[in-house]
Amino acid sequence: MNYLRNNYLRGLATPPTREWQATLLITTIYILCALGANTLFGLFHPLYNPGEDPIRLALVLVVFPTFLEESIFRGMLIPIDTYQKGRKAIAFRVLVSALAFTIWHPLNALTINPTARPIFCDTRFLLIVFVLGLACAMVYIRSRSLWSAIVVHWITVVVWVMFLGGRNIVAGR
């Protein structure tokens, strides 16, 4: 219980404006990597498909997957004081968090969301997920704000779902 209070809740209480320059830099590097990977793999194609209510969809995406996944894979797996512990601790926590986050996607597809199986079990997609996990972990460690990682993750999911065909891919269309 102390860990949750001293770690997870502190991450939620820290505003996303802390270390915003580092967040912006890490996010930019992630976007360039994701775009490069997509160019290489051709996984996603521009397709605007927000559904009937894009605002509702964007709000739903804040909760699941974004808030819940960031709470687990960053807020609970990464101690909030990791940045002060040095490079080895940072590298270890970033890798553990990103690997757990990546492994979660095929597990999700195999247990909860079978229509996502083709994409969530695709190693090319999982590489992009891993890089997102690295970026969100680094943003969280640097800013000590869970909200910073949530924003990076949420923007990624919204762009993928609404503008890159993610809704159709996950729905098996």
Q: CB-based contacts of 6: which residues, under 8 Å, 6+ apart?
A: 80
In DSSP terms, 164 is beta-bridged to 47
The one-digit pLDDT tens for each residue of the chain (173 residues) are 899 889 999 999 999 998 999 999 999 999 999 999 989 999 888 888 888 899 999 999 999 999 999 999 999 999 999 999 999 999 999 999 999 999 999 999 999 999 999 999 999 999 999 999 999 999 999 999 999 999 999 999 999 999 998 877 666 65
Report the predicted TM-score, pTM, of the whole model to 2 decimal places. Answer: 0.95
Inter-CA distances, 151 with 24, 53, 65, 87, 155, Å:
11, 21, 12, 24, 6
Q: Which residue has the tokens 């972990």?
A: 137
Amino acid at 29: I
